[in-house]
Amino acid sequence: MSNFVDYVKIHCKSGHGGAGSAHLRREKYIPKGGPDGGDGGRGGHIIMKGNAHEWTLLPLRYTRHIKAENGQPGGKNQLTGRFGEDVYIEVPVGTIAKNEDGDVIGEILEDGQEVILMHGGKGGLGNEHFKSATNQTPRYAQPGLPGEEGYIVFELKILADVGLVGFPNAGKSTLLSAVSAAKPKIADYAFTTLTPNLGIVDYRNYKSFVMADIPGIIEGAAEGKGLGHRFLRHIERNSILLFLIPADSEDHFQEFKILENELKEYNPELLNKQFIVSISKSDLLDAKLEEEIAAEFPEHMQPLFFSAVTGQGLQELKDKIWKILHDCSQKIIPLK
């Protein structure tokens, strides 16, 4: 079973507000002290908090219900009731929270960021607030307001500098294992990778960047076929898209166009991202075949050839990625 969990649905309930007090002050030498009831305390919030040390929603996988504490009622001598304790749900950076209707409540983009998902109910006012010249001893107070309740969906869209895009068996997992310490599952059948894998790629002079091996697309993925949206949502947070077309593909440019179309069908804004086209498994090719494959592509998207098995072209590929990531003068040519 994979330890990467990117979707969790939890029933949440924030705390009710405490009731206000209707206490009347009665002391030995103050027989008509008047109202002195305090306000009720606020109910506890449900709060989502970013944690850079978390990479998956796995800790929440078996959490079915989360409930915050109710606020305490107000007391005499205008004492406010204690606030209900807030509940913090720690999630990885890149997590989005949605309500049952699919509306986004908030998203976590940095470590320590907090988003209130459900507000605790407001505490009721004590009777001290209701005294007036015509009603000097009000014997009533407000009840606390109820908290919020419902299901919240947490979706993780991984944050990476480079996202690998390609059909199953395009060589994405092999590339990630060759350039980083990540150990994704590799085998000769479709959908070996069922969940995203992250790897830190070492670059020159102790620099590095993050690469994401994302489950392979098939034609119709935008409509939910194959791994469908479960795959596509992870592409949205990648700075660069690296298209991998295997050298043994029957039609390299057509395969690229199918991948491009699936991104467009899912979210047209993805076509504005910077991208690199590459031909994997190039150890299967000679110089003449490389020229023929390159001729299939337009001049502005000439592919890079590499082999993760032999190491051929890997440094050139990393140089290209680094240049795009850090050269602000690099011209971005969108897909569309």
Place of tokens 């310490």: 181
- Asked if residue 124 is part of any domain, the answer here is yes
Shared-domain flag, residues 190 and 150? no
Q: Summarize the annotated binding site for GTP as residue ranges.
A: 166-173, 191-195, 213-216, 280-283, 307-309
Binding-site positions: 166-173, 191-195, 213-216, 280-283, 307-309
User: What is the rounded distance in angstroms from the CA atom of residue 138 to the CA atom of residue 128?
Assistant: 8
Q: What's the average model confidence in pLDDT over 147-175?
A: 86
Q: Which residues are annotated as a binding site for Mg(2+)?
A: 173, 193
Task: Tell me if 266 is assigned to some domain.
Answer: yes
* HSE toward the beta carbon, residue 232, CA cutoff 13 A: 26
Whether the per-residue pLDDT at 6 is higher than 90: the answer is: no
What's the confidence (pLDDT) of residue 137?
Answer: 86
Q: At what angle do helices 172-179 and 314-326 cross, to 10 degrees?
A: 80
The answer to whether residue 102 is domain-embedded is: yes
* Residue 260 predicted with pLDDT over 90: no
Same-domain check for residues 235 and 120: no
Pair 46, 98 in one domain: yes
pLDDT at 204 over 90: no
CA distance 46 to 68: 7
Number of domains into which the chain is organized: 2
For residue 131, is it within any domain? yes
Report the predicted TM-score, pTM, of the whole model to 2 decimal places.
0.66
- Per-residue confidence at 4, pLDDT binned at 50, 70, 90? low
Range 168-174 contact pairs with CB under 8 angstroms and sequence separation of 24 or more:
168/192, 168/216, 168/218, 169/216, 169/246, 170/216, 170/244, 170/245, 170/246, 170/280, 171/244, 171/246, 171/280, 171/281, 171/308, 172/213, 172/214, 172/216, 172/244, 173/197, 173/213, 174/280, 174/308, 174/309
DSSP 179: H
Same domain, 192 and 123: no
Which of 62, 50, 65, 58 lies closest to 150 in space, CA to CA? 65
Specify if 332 maps to a domain.
no
- Tell me whether residue 46 is in a domain: yes
